[in-house]
Structure 1
Amino acid sequence: MQYKDFMGQIQSRLELPELGRAVRATRAVLTTLGERLQAGEAQDLAGSLPMEVDYYLTSADSGQRFDYDEFVDRVAERANVNKSDAAYYGKVVVGLVSELISRGEVEDVRGQLTDDYQYLFALIDAEEVEEE
């Protein structure tokens, strides 16, 4: 997927009026995720994404330990939105990323996160239930 298509999908799924807000949401989520994942995992995840997007994952100071609430706080601050919107941004961005990577890679990412991050994967899990 090309960068423009990726951002268009984010803008549409988040129902944002401006592309700039979609970019800010994506950057906030992926930078924060990149901080939480180990460097190698962030690199693996970034490999399937458009070059302009993978930078958000790989430029972060990786390997930090923080819980889901801190994840949401960081996304909210970076995107300049409330915590509810930040949590939703996380679900949507991770949902789209998960469509572009293998199921095994999704599981590798989940394996590096604590159980409280289950909310980040809520859209993915809901799709799997519908398929069954």
Structure 2
Amino acid sequence: MEYEQLIATVRRRAGLNDEEAERSVRAVLSTLGERLAGREADHLAAQLPDRLDQFVTRNPQGRRWDVGDFLRIVGQREQCADADLVRQHAQAVLATIAEALDDDERADLLAQLPGGIIDLFGVPAPRG
């Protein structure tokens, strides 16, 4: 998926303009990357358009955030205080990211996340 297509998809799904969609994508990607352990953030970034890979935070230990913490941090980074809007934006971004990843990478990514965050992707949870 190309950068413009990814932003347009998020914009449409979340009802945002281009600037808001870009800000939401950056907020979600940085928070998601920080949540991932090992090299999973690098693997995620490698499958994103070049203009987005830089926003995936790398944290080899990974943070242990639940969905509430995840959304709170996304909201802070997005500068959005409305929890319902933050959830809507995060769902739009994560569903779009899920579509952009190949099956193996999507499964590896979801395997590191708790159920509440997986639910935001709108895809079935990986089977263990």
TM (norm. structure 1) is: 0.83
Over the aligned positions, Cα root-mean-square deviation in angstroms equals: 1.6
**C-alpha displacement of 1:119:** 2.3
Counterpart in 2 of 1:49?
A: 48
Kindly tell me the number of residue pairs found equivalent between the two proteins: 122
Q: Residues of 2 paired with 1:124 and 1:44: CA distance?
A: 19
C-alpha distance after superposition, 1:56-109 (max 9, x if no partner): 11x344512211100000011111221111112221111111111122211111
Within-5 A mapping of 1:1-132: 1-16=1-16, 18-57=17-56, 59-62=57-60, 63-81=62-80, 82-121=82-121, 123-125=122-124
Cα pair 2:45 2:54 within 8 Å, conserved:
yes
Over 6 Å off, 4+ runs? none
Q: Residues of 1 paired with 2:77 and 2:32: CA distance?
A: 12
Q: Residues of 2 paired with 1:61 and 1:20: CA distance?
A: 27
Counterpart residue type for residue 104 of structure 2? G
Which structure has the highest helix share of the two? 1
Q: Residues of 2 paired with 1:39 and 1:22: CA distance?
A: 28
TM (norm. structure 2) is: 0.85
**C-alpha displacement of 1:11:** 1.1
